[in-house]
Amino acid sequence: MKIRKISLLLAVIILIGEVFIVSKAFCANTMATDSYSFTIVPDTTAPSAVTNLSITQALQNSITVAWTATGDDGSTGTASSYDIRYSTASINASNWASAAQVSGEPTPQLAGTTQSMTVSSLSAELAYYFAIKASDEAANISSLSNVVTTTTPDQTAPASVSNLAISSKTYDSVVLSWSAPGDDGSSGTASNYDIRYSTASINASNWASGTQVSGEPVPQVAGTVQTTTVSGLTASTTYFFAIKTTDNAANISDISNVPTGTTNAVPDTTPPYTTGHIPVKDASGISTDTNIIVHVKDDGAGVNVSSIVMTVNGQVVSPAITGTAADYLLSYNPANDFQAGQQIFVTIQASDLAP
């Protein structure tokens, strides 16, 4: 019994020893912390300067510029940001800071990529200069780009004339009047007028077929009342008139209102005349009891009957008047017979009804 207990004890000791040996074989050895440092070479290479900045479009209030992306380090990689500026004076390194900076510049793309931007809210008919710089992520800034310039065009046409009117007319001419519209809309001073007329109504479609007036007046400042005389027209004919206005940038207004009017009839410039004299002129051997008869005629507007005056031997007499304005018959029966051998002097005066 004693021997068995001893054997069991030995077995336990042997087992513990084996476990210890196994545990010792899987135990990790921990090294001391290894600490060290190194220094990165700093980025001191700025993006290359843009050399091909150009203007691709110029509108009245905006200009589009384009360029080729230069890169991060020189002409490689991708830069971080652009600084685009503009001014009404030429830009250089000295005055760069005073130029107006554009907002919302595009993000740089890979070197060699074509990029563009439209700069808005500009003024018309004004010269602008543009330049660009590029920056990388280390805040290295490129040199100033080439500087480009252009002038924003005038794309605003004069306002259309709305009060064109015929102020007077004759048998072969009319006088037109209107208010000057201006250069840009209703302000400023335009460059020239194009006035046309036709015997048919004028509109935008048939404008080119109208007869152009020569010698139109030079436009005056907006709001000025202007006139012109259109001559060489045909009497008693209905005409239509219209006008367009052009500015110094060749912007043309819409067609004006279209007044119409009829020229007057050909004026009557021929005075009345007498005919059918009884006795005939310079007759002799006329009886003492003769009456005086004469026609007063007019081939135009007609004789004004109230203007007829007859005198016999210097005395105004009152003949009987019959007929029409085209042909009045005057008959004078003197109260007393004429004297034998007496010479009679008759005068007749008359005007026509021409205006």
Q: pLDDT per residue over 311-337, tens digit each?
A: 999 999 999 999 999 999 999 999 999
Q: For residue 344, what is the enclosing H or E element?
A: none
Tell me if 339 is assigned to some domain: yes
Tell me if 201 is assigned to some domain: yes
Residue after which a domain boundary falls, among 151, 180, 212 = 151
Are residues 83 and 117 located together in one domain of the fold? yes
Tell me if 20 is assigned to some domain: no
Are residues 107 and 171 located together in one domain of the fold? no
Are residues 305 and 335 located together in one domain of the fold? yes
State how many domains the chain has.
3
CATH code (residue 223): 2.60.40.10
CB 85 within 8 A of CB 116: no
Domain containing residue 232 = 165-262
Position 2 pLDDT exceeds 80: no
Residue after which a domain boundary falls, among 262, 292, 327 = 262
Tell me if 299 is assigned to some domain: yes
- The whole-model pTM stands at 0.66
Are residues 226 and 286 located together in one domain of the fold? no
Are residues 225 and 291 located together in one domain of the fold? no
pLDDT at 25: 52
Q: For residue 20, what is the enclosing H or E element?
A: helix 2-25
Q: Which residues are CB-contacts of 142 (< 8 A; sequence separation ≥ 6)?
A: 46, 47, 48, 49, 50, 70, 79, 133, 134, 135
Are residues 295 and 347 located together in one domain of the fold? yes
pLDDT tens by residue, 64-74 = 999 999 988 87
Name residue, tokens 């001419």: 173
pLDDT at 43: 77
pLDDT at 246: 97
Are residues 306 and 238 located together in one domain of the fold? no
